[in-house]
Amino acid sequence: MTKYRKLGRTSDQRKALLRNQVTALIENGKIVTTESRAKEVRKAAEGLIALAVREKDNYETVTVTAKIAQKDKDGKRVKKEADGKKITVYEEISKEIKKDNPSRLHARRQMLKVLYPAVQVPTELSGRRKATKQLDLVEKLFDEIAPKYANRQGGYTRIIKIGPRKGDASMMVVLELV
């Protein structure tokens, strides 16, 4: 007996389907799918959320300084003349960043193995490539979802039956984050 549902697909199709649905669930908070798919997606999603809850505060804040070229109103670099040469003017900026500890970095990489890269397209600028924005779903897991479930011992998703599908009478459900 297998420990997972095969969903009538080959292994690569099944893995792609589950990755796609887990990504959609994390991105949107709920998805509509069949009951057997939802039960498989639930396993993967709850594992990712449990990993995020376990590693949510496992980082250090580090102050980093960087030299950035000054720019004028047109967006071109500001240059000054010194010793007969034109030299770009730089300014130092300090910024605080989160530096992952090794176990959180490992958790991040485990999540990236499951999640597809997500892109957000604003509705008013649809069709323009520059308007698209990459979503960092791993950061969403660590910063938004994990703190919400910090005091919860599992059971991060809910399956609600919504009735049979019209074409083949397969039971349709809503899988959502609690």
Task: Indicate if the pLDDT at residue 126 is higher than 70.
Answer: no
User: Which domain range does residue 168 map to?
Assistant: 11-58+101-177
| pLDDT grade for 156, boundaries at 50, 70 and 90 | very high
| Predicted local confidence at residue 55, as pLDDT | 96
Quick: pLDDT tens for 29-66: 999 999 999 999 999 999 999 999 999 999 999 999 99
Closest CA to 138 of 120, 157, 121, 115: 115
Q: Are residues 145 and 80 in the same domain?
A: no
Q: Are residues 114 and 145 in the same domain?
A: yes
Task: Indicate if the pLDDT at residue 125 is higher than 80.
Answer: no
Task: Indicate if the pLDDT at residue 136 is higher than 70.
Answer: yes
Q: Are residues 82 and 170 in the same domain?
A: no
- Please answer whether residues 49 and 138 qualify as being in contact, where contact means their C-beta atoms are separated by less than 8 angstroms: no
Q: Are residues 35 and 91 in the same domain?
A: no
Q: Are residues 81 and 41 in the same domain?
A: no
Task: Indicate if the pLDDT at residue 162 is higher than 80.
Answer: yes
**Rounded Cα gap, residues 143 and 118, in angstroms:** 17
Q: Are residues 116 and 68 in the same domain?
A: no
Mean pLDDT confidence for 67-81 = 90
| Predicted local confidence at residue 1, as pLDDT | 52
- The dihedrals phi and psi of 128, each to the nearest 5 degrees, come to -105, 125
Q: What is the CATH number of the domain that holds 39?
A: 3.90.1030.10
Q: Does residue 64 form part of some domain? A: yes
Enter the pTM of the model: 0.83
**Rounded Cα gap, residues 101 and 108, in angstroms:** 11
Closest CA to 49 of 115, 142, 139: 142
Q: Does residue 1 form part of some domain? A: no
Distance of CA 100 to the CA centre of its chain: 16
